[in-house]
């Protein structure tokens, strides 16, 4: 079994195993950056495309003006969920502009 990686947040983020993960993230300062339909569509498309590029299989998702949630399975060939953080970093980088 792979060693569990814990992030310094509560609750613990354990990425040492493959599986299905529930993720919640908010916008900077929880501000409504995606308040218009156009901006919300950018976040929605961005989430789905970045997840697909990283090989994560999306099971369910919801996007809102200041946060999003999703349930996704690790990439099929992965032995852990270590690609989650870089995937989210790419999403946040692409939607920050």
pLDDT digits over 42-89, tens only? 999 999 999 999 999 999 999 999 999 999 999 999 999 999 999 999
- 81 near 3, Cβ under 8 Å? no
Tally Cβ neighbours within 10 Å of residue 28.
Answer: 9
- 34 near 19, Cβ under 8 Å? no
pTM: predicted TM-score of the whole model, two decimal places: 0.84
Residue whose token pair is 């996007």:
63
| Rounded CA separation 64/40 (Å) | 7
Helix (H, G, I), strand (E, B) or coil at 97: coil
């Amino acid at each position: 079994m792979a060693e569990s990686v814990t992030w310094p947040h509560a609750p613990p983020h354990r990425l040492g195993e493959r599986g299905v993960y529930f993720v919640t993230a908010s916008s900077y300062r929880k501000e409504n950056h995606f308040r218009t339909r156009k901006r919300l569509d950018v976040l929605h498309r961005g989430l789905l495309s970045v997840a697909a590029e990283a090989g994560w299989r999306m099971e369910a998702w919801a996007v809102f003006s200041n946060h999003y949630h999703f349930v996704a399975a690790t990439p099929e060939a992965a032995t852990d969920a270590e690609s989650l953080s870089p995937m989210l970093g790419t999403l946040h980088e692409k939607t920050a502009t």
